[in-house]
Structures are given as structure tokens and as C-alpha cells.
Amino acid sequence: MQDSNELEISRRNLLIGSVASATATAVPSVVIAQPVPEARTIPIPPPVMSKVSFDVNGKVHALEVDTRTTLLDALRERLLLPGTKKGCDHGQCGACTVIVDGRRINSCLTLAVMHEGNHITTIEGLGTPENLHPMQAAFVKHDGYQCGYCTPGQICSAVAVLDEIKAGIPSHVSSDLTQLPQATAVELRERMSGNICRCGAYSNIVDAISEVAGRKA
Amino acid sequence: MKPFTYERAKSPAEAAAAAARIQGAKFIAGGTNLLDLMKLQIETPTHLIDVNGLALDKIETTPEGGLRIGALVRNTDLAAYEHVRRDYGLLSRALLAGASGQLRNSATTAGNLLQRTRCPYFYDTNQPCNKRQPGSGCAAIGGFSRQHAVVGVSDACIATHPSDMAVAMRALDATVETIRPDGSRRTTPIVEFYRLPGNTPQVETTLEPGELITAVLLPKPVGGRHIYNKVRDRASYAFALISVGAIVQKDGTGRVALGGVAHKPWRVEAAEAEMSRGARAVAERLLVGATPTHHNAFKLPLVERTLGATLAEARG
């Protein structure tokens, strides 16, 4: 009896959209049924809007966004470019990797308003289904994915990694800081460590990047 | 995230003045640590001052033969800078041992110095943490403390400083150049820049409210073999359990700083006098008075052995 009564109150709370927590189900129903007093509502500060304009895949976009909007959310939710993926949203997985002014970054850990005048390349800007970027083609050829969710980030990261090696940027596994780094498998694994693949396609990803690196050399 | 107002700073002086004037204001540069914490509402600034447009992204040679590294120089660019690779290899190595390629492209020199601890209890807003909420207690003491500090701890906090770069900066005797809200400038040796937790673990540096880092200065190169050995749970993209940054001269003298053992990069100059006597003697002086927990007592022998490997590598 007691149990069914509590269940009834819980359902009622759910139906009226009350914010009362689960513990409130122990309170007599007469109290619950009263309207929530004004004083109990927590004031929510209004969002702050700000203007920003940047180039995405060769097209300039002028946006007015809530200042809290990450670059990732601006790309996906405002510009409707869902190729860039939201994985952890905390810079730990690399699914959101895009290339900003030639550098790969985590688009989840940067605000849209911080990118005034920047040039941003997403997976949609690298190639098209009819005309794949060499890195996209190599990922297909080498089966460098399984579910595909991390793949746009992997590919954007991989394209930038080869540019970083070409520019002579050393890595943790470079044995000599004064020598130009090479696109060895060991170097590629270290440099791609910011892109997690839950399906574990890592060895095929390294094969794909190695092939593109070899073609470039 | 909580709503916040946003402005792009026009000059370092104006940025510092605004940060002191506007309650709840914070600077943002790379944002890789701050935005992470804002999403979790561990940091809740009401106003962000974007300093990315300030021309603080240059590396210059100083009249003394050292380097002046702009506060906004990205970690990737600092690690790859030819002069740094050649003469301050420890700094390149420490930077490259940290984070991921994407994060190093965004993260700045000043932001790296100011990053917050990765203590899991600091991140868990359901747990007490004196650093996040002063006076609430410390869940790490008596909790899972494998990653935590073994020296310089207090009853209020046993968190570590997570930066690899700061360990190199400490060994290289860097100084931090800042501008204060009144427009005056000062430089602070890195040894005086970081604080131990004491009773106020929420105060991590000697920066004044609103004070903005404009550069990090390195003295002229000291030569020697530069080695950074980081021990972590994964081969890449993980914070240090412990790290050893060393500069070893041909005659066996040198400098050693440790990461992952304290609330700040840990260096004890007196320990360096023991370098000719080997790793055990140095480690004993470095970690004198250590108070590890049951979970992180392994860090003491790990420091000694990693230091031993580092000194052997320097001789080899």
C-alpha cells in the first residue's frame, strides 16, 4: 500500500514536471500537490550573446552565439556540419579534432567567439564522397575504422600530423631533437595518441597514414 | 557552463586592470584547462578576458644571451623552436612528453604554468576539496591517493602540480614576467612563483588578483646533457606518476627537478651537491621529510630508480 502510494506520487510529480527530488515522495501528497512557490525557483542568469565571423571550409560565416558555445557546437549545431564529432567533450578523445589556421586542435575545448577571422577546416572540407582526400581514401583502403565515430577526428589529425612532420616539429619519441623527424610507425603512433579509437583500429590507421606519408615523400 | 560576458583584450595593461576591476573575471588563452573546468562548473567565471589578440607570441633572445618566451607562445611552437631544441633540450623534451598534439597546439606557455591539478577529488564536485571549495576538507587524504604528492603536503591538500613544462622551467631557473593591474611590471623567479598548499591550497601562485603573465624568461644556456624521464601509466598522453628533469654536466655535476611528487615542480638545490655520490644520495636529499600515503609510497623508490636511469643515460 505504502509502496504503491509512493509510486503514484512519483508519477504525479513526473506528470506535472515538478523539480521535487525523489526524496520528496515521502512527503504527504497534500504538500506535493501545492504549486511550487515563486521563491523556490532559482534565478538563471540570461545567456550572453556575442558576434563572431570565421571561414569554414572556404566559406565565411557570421554568427551571433551564446558566449558559451564551443567551436564544436557552432560547427555542428549552427553550421550544420555534423562530420566533426562530439565524443568526451573534454579534450580527451580527439573525435572533435579540426584544423584551425593549419593546426589541429580539439574544437570542444575552445569557444567559437575566440576564432574571429580564423580559417577552419573540418572533415567536410577535406574531400567529398566523389573526390576523397588521399587520407580519406587510405583509411577506406586500409579499413582504418570500425564504427567510424572517431574517424573524422582521426583523419583531420592525420592530415595535420604529416604537415607537422614536414615542418620538422619533433615528438616525444624523436631520438634527436636537432634532426628532421621521419614518418615512422613509432612516430605516427605517438603523434596520434590524442585520438582514441574505441574499436581499436589503430594498426590499420597507422597503415593508412604510412601509405599517404610514403606517397608524399 | 554558467553564462559569462566576453571581451577581447586590447593591451596587457588594460587586461590586467579589467581583471582586477570586474569581479569573477578570468583570462582565457588556449582554454584547454579552463573550459574543461567551466563545463564541470569547477571554474565559474562571470567574465572572460580573451588575451589571444595580445602580441605576446614571440620568442626573442635577451641581451644576457637567454630567451624571452611570450606568454602566448603555444607549447608546440616552444618545443619546436630551434634555439630551444639546441640549448634548452630539457624544455623541449618536457613539453613533448605532455598532453597530445592537439592540446599542445592550443595550450600556451603561461596557461601551462597556471594549469590546475588533476586530483580526481578536485574534479569530483560531490567530494570535499579544499582547493575547489576552501574549508570543505580533503577527500584525497584517506582516499585513493596513488597519484598524489609525497613531499610538501599539508593537512589540507595533497594534490600535485600536473605540468611537465614547469619542471623544466624550474630546473632552468626561469623567471615569470608579469604586469599588475596598476600597470607596473615585475619578474618573479619560478622558485617563488609557486606556493605549497599549507592552509590555503586554493592559492597556487604568488600572482596578485588581476596580475597577467606576459613572458617567461630563461637565463643563458648552461650546456650539459638535457634529459626528461616521465613515468606514467600509458606510453603517451597521460599525466606523470613521477618525472625527472635533469641537466648533467661532463664532470657529473648538474641540476635535478621532479614532477608528480608535490604541489609544485620540486627542486632542492642542496640535493644537487650529492650528484657525484649517485641517485640514492640525491633522491634522499630531494625527498627528505616525505610523507607518502599507503597508495603512493611507491613514488619514493620510483624517483630513485628513474633518477638512477637518468644519470646512467647522461654518462652513456
Question: Under an 8 A CB cutoff, do A194 and B102 touch?
Answer: yes
Give residue B316's pLDDT: 85
- Show which of residues 60-99 on chain A sit within 8 Å of chain B, judged by CB atoms: 66-68, 70, 89-91, 94, 97
Q: Is the pLDDT of residue A75 over 50?
A: yes
User: What pLDDT score was predicted for residue A216?
Assistant: 53
Which residue do the cell numbers 628532421 mark? A180
SS3 category, B172: coil
Contacts of B86 in chain A (CB under 8 A): 177-178
Q: Is the pLDDT of residue A15 over 60?
A: no
pLDDT of residue A43: 76
- B97 at A interface, C-beta within 8 A: yes
Contact of B26 with chain A, judged by CB distance below 8 Å, is answered with no
In tens, the pLDDT along A166-175 reads 999 999 999 9
For B77, name the nearest residue in chain A, comparing CA atoms only.
Answer: A169
Taking residues A183-208, report their average pLDDT: 98
Asked if pLDDT for residue B193 goes beyond 90, the answer is yes
In chain B, the N- to C-terminal Cα span, in Å, equals 52
The C-alpha cell that represents B66 in the structure block: 637567454
Query: What does R_g of chain B's alpha carbons equal in angstroms?
Result: 19
- Is the CB of residue A57 less than 8 Å from the CB of residue A121? yes
Contact at 8 Å (CB) between B122 and B131? Answer: yes
CA distance B155 to chain A (A): 30
The pLDDT tens digits of the residues spanning B87-96 come to 999 999 999 9
C-alpha A89: how far from its chain's center?
6
Q: With an 8 Å Cβ cutoff, are A106 and B102 in contact? A: yes
Is B4 touching A (CB cutoff 8 A)? Answer: yes
- A178 close to B (CB below 8 A): yes
Quick: pLDDT tens for B263-315. 999 999 999 999 999 999 999 999 999 999 999 999 999 999 999 999 999 99
Q: Is the pLDDT of residue A34 over 60?
A: no
Contacts within 8 Å (CB) and 24+ apart, B289-297: B289/B151, B290/B150, B290/B151, B291/B150, B291/B151, B291/B153, B292/B150, B293/B141, B293/B145, B293/B148, B293/B158, B294/B145, B295/B144, B295/B145, B295/B146, B295/B148, B296/B145, B296/B146, B296/B147, B296/B148, B296/B149, B296/B150, B297/B150
What pTM value is reported for the model? 0.92
Quote the cell numbers at residue A107.
Answer: 574544437
Q: How far apart, in whole angstroms, are the C-alpha atoms of residue B295 and residue B298?
A: 7
Q: What DSSP character marks residue B242?
A: E
Name the A residues in 117-156 with CB < 8 Å from any B CB. none
In whole angstroms, give the CA distance from residue B222 to residue B232: 28
Inspect the interface and report whether the beta carbons of B101 and A114 lie closer than 8 Å. Answer: no
Is residue A198 within 8 angstroms of chain B, CB to CB? Answer: no
Which residue do the cell numbers 506535472 mark? A16
Q: Positive or negative CA dihedral for A38, A39, A42, A46? A: positive
Cell numbers for A7? 509510486
Q: Closest residue of B to A117, CA-based?
A: B53
> Does the pLDDT value for residue A184 go beyond 50?
yes
- Asked if pLDDT for residue B253 goes beyond 50, the answer is yes
CA atoms within 13 A on the CB side of B235: 10
Q: What is the mean pLDDT of chain A?
A: 87
The closest CB to that of B31, out of A114, A171, A172, belongs to A114
Q: What is the pLDDT of residue A8?
A: 42
